[in-house]
Amino acid sequence: MTSAYDTNNIFAKILRGEIPCAKVYEDDDTLAFMDVMPQAPGHLLVIPKAASRNILDADPAVLAKTIAVVQKLAIAAKHAFDAEGVNVAQFNEAAAGQTVFHLHFHVIPRNEHEPMKPHSGTMADGDVLRAHAEKIKAALG
């Protein structure tokens, strides 16, 4: 069964400017901002502006633009946090762990021997998230 896109999901509200985010990057088609419950320092989310629940109902042309931004931000976040690696993760529907139903890619800088915190765990301090967003923006050049 496929569910419809809900225009009141939290990322749609962020896109409309109804709730704030620690913005890292924006272009005509894409927005990136810090995850409020980071699983590691520098955890950010990349979302297309076009509405889709997840990868299953996304337009392939939108996906192509989004993944190019994911790559750009994975490189910048790895550099900004001097990380050894980066996880890129993306969940589709609740059974697969999706909790917000607007397509998004997680970009998480990683270091060996530093386990990731739980998904949707603890809220981070807003000032810290804004500082991390600035660090990644600076690495974007």
Would you tell me which residues interact with ligand 5GP (CB under 6 A)?
Answer: 10, 21, 33-37, 91, 97-100, 119-120
* CA 23 – CA 15 distance, rounded (Å): 11
Element (H, E) at 87: strand 85-89
- Residue 7 vs 120, nearer CB to ligand 5GP: 120
User: Which active-site residues does the annotation give?
Assistant: 104
CB of 128 to ligand 5GP, least distance (A): 13
Question: Measured at CB, which residue is nearest to ligand 5GP?
Answer: 37
CB of 55 to ligand 5GP, least distance (A): 11
- Residue 21 vs 86, nearer CB to ligand 5GP: 21
- Residue 43 vs 141, nearer CB to ligand 5GP: 43
Which pair of structure tokens corresponds to residue 66?
């989004």
- Residue 126 vs 141, nearer CB to ligand 5GP: 126
CB of 126 to ligand 5GP, least distance (A): 10
Secondary structure, 3-state, 18-65: CCCCCEEEECCCEEEEECCCCCCCCCEEEEECCCCCCCCCCCHHHHHH
CB of 132 to ligand 5GP, least distance (A): 12
Exposure string of 36-65, with b = 16+ CB inside 10 Å and e = fewer, is bebbbbbbbbbbbbbbbbbbeebeeebbeb
Which pair of structure tokens corresponds to residue 32?
């990136």
